[in-house]
C-alpha cells in the first residue's frame, strides 16, 4: 500500500512538472509573438516617419529647385505653393509666420528609396525550384529482399510414418535401457493411438518394474476402461489411491463411472 | 476483499507455461515452420530473437505437442560445464544414470550415438545457447554431424551475430527462424486474446487503439515488457479497487493509473 501511495505522490509531482513545462512553453511562445509584434510595430513607426518627412518635403519644395537652406517660410509659402498643387496626399504644416524651417533640396534626395526594393528583382523565384524527381517503383534489390521474406507455403507432412518410427525407436531404446519410464512413454503413445490393448500391456510392464510411476497406474486403468473392463479399471485405481494418490484416483474413478474419460 | 484485478494481473505473469501461449498469426506461422523443420533431414535449427520475443515459449510448446510423437529432450537451463553437458546428453539418450564419480568420454559418446544411426532420431532443444562456450558448441556441432541427433538452439539476437556467421555453423544450420517484437495490431490482439480468453471482456474494451499505441511506444511490442507493464497496471488497479473503489471505472482506461505504471517502470520521468 505504501509503495502505491508513494507512486501516487510521484505521479502528482510528474503532473506538476509537466504543467510547469507546458506553461513555460506557452509563455515562451507568447514572448516570441510579442517580440515580433513590437519589432514590427517599431519598424512600421519608423517607416511612417520617413514617409511623412518625404511627403512634407515634397509638398513644400516640389515647385522650387535649388532653394537655399534657410528660408523664410511665410514668404516661401506665399511664393512657392500654388493652391492647385495642394491635394489630400500632401501635408500642409501650419507654421508660425517668420519661423525658419530648414528645407532639404529635393534634387539631392531624390533617390532615397529604401534599400530592400532593390532585392525584388534579385530574389530567387522559388517556384523555379523543381522537386527532386523521386521514383515510387521498387528497385530490383528491394524486390529481392521482399521476395526473400515471403514465408514459404505450408507443406503438409504425413506424420503417421514418423509416429510408427517413433514407437519402433522407443521399443529399441527400451530393449537397451530396460528403463520403466521408456515403457510408460510407449504405453502412453499406444493409448493416444487408441491401441488400448497394447497400451495396457506396456503400462503393466512399466508398473511391474516400478510401482512409483504414477502414469503406469493411470494409463493401465484408463486402457482397461476403454476396453470395457470398467470394474478392473476401478480396482486398479483404488490400489493406486491407497498409495497416497487418493485425489487423482477418485477423479479418474468418477470419469470411468460416468464414461467421460478422454 | 477479492479484487478481479488480482486474477487479471496474474494473467500477465511472465512465464513459459503453455497455458500462457497466445496464438497470433505470426506466432502460429513460425511455430508451424519450426515443427516442419524437424521433419527435414537437417542437423540444426536456429531460433533467434531479442529477449522477450517468445523463444522459450515456442520450445515449450514444441515439447508439449511432440512428446508423444518424437523422442525429444528439452534443456531449459543451459548446462555450462562440458562434464555435466555430456552426462545429460548420455542420460537422456540411454535412460541410464551415470554415477557421480564417473564422467562421460566424448569420443565414446560420439561412437555410441553413431551406433544408433538408422534406428533412432533424437531431438534436443537447447535454450539460451549464447551462454554455451565455443568448445561446447563445437561438440554440439560434431554430435549433429552424426545425423542421429537434431539440435534446436535458441540465441539472443545480438548486434554482431558472430556465432551464426561462423563458417562451421553456416553449413550446418538448416533453418533460421527469427522471432520479432509484435507490431501494433499484433500487440492489440495479444492483449485482447489474453483478457477475453478469461472472460474479461469489459476490461479488454478499455484497451483502445490509442491506449495500445502508447503501450507499444513504451515496450516496442516486446511481449515480456508488455506483460510487465500490464502486470504493474493491474496491480495498481487492484489496490484502488480494494481501497478507493470510486477511482476505478471500466468505462475507459484511467489516465492516472496508466501514467503511474509508466512512471514505476521508468517509461516516464
Residues of A in contact with B247 (CB under 8 A): none
CB contact under 8 A, A172 and B120: yes
Mean pLDDT of all residues in B46-54? 87
In this structure, what C-alpha cell is assigned to residue A185? 512413454
Q: What part of A 6-35 touches B (C-beta under 8 Å)? A: 7-8, 10-11, 14
Mean pLDDT in residue range B26-32: 88
Classified as helix, coil or strand, A158 is coil
What is the pLDDT confidence band of residue A62, given thresholds at 50, 70 and 90? Answer: very low
Contact with chain B for residue A4, Cβ under 8 A: yes
Q: Does residue A82 surpass a pLDDT of 70?
A: no
Minimum Cα–Cα distance from B71: chain A residue: A166
Mean pLDDT of the B61-70 span? 90
For chain B, the farthest-separated pair of C-alpha atoms sits apart, in whole angstroms, at 71
Q: Quick one: pLDDT at residue A95?
A: 45
State the pLDDT confidence band at B21, using cuts at 50, 70 and 90.
confident
Q: What is the pLDDT of residue B115?
A: 92
Which cell numbers in the block locate residue A247? 485425489
Q: What is the mean pLDDT of chain A?
A: 73
Determine the average pLDDT of the residues in A226-251.
Answer: 92
Q: Looking at residue A44, what is its pLDDT? A: 83
pLDDT value of residue A163:
57
pLDDT at A33: 95
Indicate yes or no: CB of B239 within 8 angstroms of CB of A192: no
| A and B: number of Cβ contacts within 8 A | 59
Q: Do B95 and A179 touch (CB under 8 A)?
A: yes
- Taking an 8 Å cut-off on Cβ atoms, the answer to whether B68 and A162 are in contact is no
Check CB contact of A177 with chain B, cutoff 8 Å.
yes
- The pTM of this model reads 0.59
In chain B, % of residues over pLDDT 70: 93
pLDDT tens digit sequence for A84-115: 454 444 444 444 444 444 555 555 544 444 44
Average pLDDT in chain B: 88
Residue with more model confidence, B16 or B4: B4
DSSP A180-201: HHHHHHHHHHHHHTT-HHHHHH
Question: What local confidence, expressed as pLDDT, does residue A131 receive?
Answer: 46
- Using a CB–CB cutoff of 8 Å, tell me whether B119 touches chain A: yes
| Residue in A151, A155, A169 closest to B119 by CB | A169
DSSP state of A139: P
Amino acid at each position: 500500500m505504501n509503495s502505491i501511495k508513494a507512486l501516487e505522490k510521484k505521479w502528482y509531482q510528474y503532473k506538476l512538472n509537466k504543467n510547469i513545462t507546458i506553461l513555460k512553453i506557452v509563455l515562451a511562445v507568447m514572448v516570441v509573438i510579442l517580440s515580433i509584434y513590437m519589432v514590427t510595430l517599431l519598424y512600421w513607426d519608423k517607416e511612417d516617419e520617413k514617409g511623412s518627412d518625404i511627403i512634407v518635403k515634397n509638398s513644400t519644395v516640389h515647385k522650387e529647385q535649388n532653394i537655399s537652406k534657410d528660408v523664410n517660410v511665410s514668404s516661401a509659402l506665399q511664393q512657392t505653393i500654388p493652391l492647385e498643387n495642394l491635394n489630400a496626399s500632401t501635408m500642409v504644416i501650419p507654421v508660425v509666420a517668420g519661423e525658419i524651417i530648414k528645407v532639404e533640396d529635393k534634387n539631392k534626395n531624390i533617390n532615397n528609396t529604401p534599400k530592400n526594393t532593390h532585392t525584388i528583382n534579385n530574389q530567387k523565384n522559388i517556384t523555379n525550384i523543381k522537386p527532386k524527381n523521386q521514383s515510387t517503383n521498387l528497385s530490383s534489390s528491394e524486390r529481392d529482399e521482399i521476395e526473400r521474406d515471403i514465408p514459404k507455403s505450408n507443406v503438409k507432412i504425413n506424420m503417421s510414418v514418423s509416429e510408427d518410427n517413433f514407437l519402433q525407436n522407443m521399443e529399441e531404446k527400451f530393449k537397451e535401457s530396460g528403463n520403466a519410464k521408456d515403457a510408460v512413454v510407449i504405453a502412453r503413445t499406444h493409448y493416444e493411438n487408441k491401441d488400448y490393448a497394447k497400451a495396457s500391456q506396456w503400462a503393466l510392464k512399466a508398473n511391474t518394474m516400478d510401482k512409483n510411476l504414477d502414469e503406469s497406474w493411470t494409463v493401465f486403468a484408463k486402457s482397461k476402461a476403454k476396453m470395457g473392463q470398467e470394474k478392473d479399471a476401478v480396482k486398479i485405481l483404488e490400489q493406486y489411491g491407497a498409495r497416497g494418490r487418493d485425489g487423482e484416483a477418485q477423479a479418474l474413478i468418477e470419469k470411468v463411472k460416468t464414461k467421460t474419460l478422454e | 476483499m477479492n479484487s478481479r484485478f488480482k486474477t487479471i494481473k496474474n494473467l500477465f505473469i511472465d512465464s513459459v507455461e503453455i497455458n500462457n501461449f497466445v496464438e497470433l498469426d505470426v506466432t502460429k506461422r513460425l511455430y508451424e515452420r519450426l515443427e516442419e523443420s524437424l521433419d527435414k533431414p537437417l542437423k540444426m535449427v536456429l531460433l533467434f530473437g531479442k529477449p522477450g520475443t517468445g523463444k522459450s515459449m515456442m520450445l515449450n510448446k514444441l515439447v508439449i505437442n511432440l512428446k508423444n510423437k518424437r523422442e525429444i529432450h528439452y534443456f531449459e537451463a543451459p548446462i555450462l560445464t562440458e562434464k555435466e553437458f555430456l552426462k545429460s546428453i548420455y542420460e537422456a539418450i540411454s535412460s541410464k544414470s551415470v554415477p557421480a564419480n564417473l564422467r562421460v568420454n566424448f569420443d565414446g559418446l560420439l561412437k555410441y550415438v553413431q551406433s544408433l544411426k538408422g534406428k533412432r532420431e533424437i531431438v534436443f532443444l537447447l535454450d539460451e545457447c549464447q551462454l554455451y562456450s565455443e568448445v561446447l558448441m563445437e561438440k554440439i556441432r560434431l554430435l549433429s554431424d552424426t545425423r542421429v541427433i537434431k539440435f534446436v538452439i535458441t540465441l539472443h539476437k545480438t548486434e554482431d551475430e558472430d556465432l551464426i556467421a561462423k563458417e562451421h555453423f553456416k553449413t550446418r544450420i538448416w533453418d533460421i527462424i527469427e522471432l520479432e517484437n509484435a507490431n501494433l495490431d499484433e500487440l492489440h490482439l495479444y492483449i485482447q486474446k489474453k483478457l477475453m480468453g478469461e472472460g474479461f471482456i469489459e476490461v479488454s474494451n478499455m484497451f483502445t487503439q490509442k491506449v495500445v499505441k502508447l503501450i507499444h511506444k513504451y515496450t516496442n511490442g516486446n511481449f515480456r515488457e508488455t506483460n510487465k507493464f500490464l502486470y504493474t497496471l493491474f496491480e495498481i488497479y487492484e489496490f484502488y479497487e480494494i481501497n478507493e473503489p470510486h477511482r476505478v471505472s471500466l468505462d475507459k482506461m484511467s489516465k492516472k493509473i496508466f501514467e503511474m505504471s509508466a512512471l514505476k517502470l521508468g517509461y516516464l520521468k
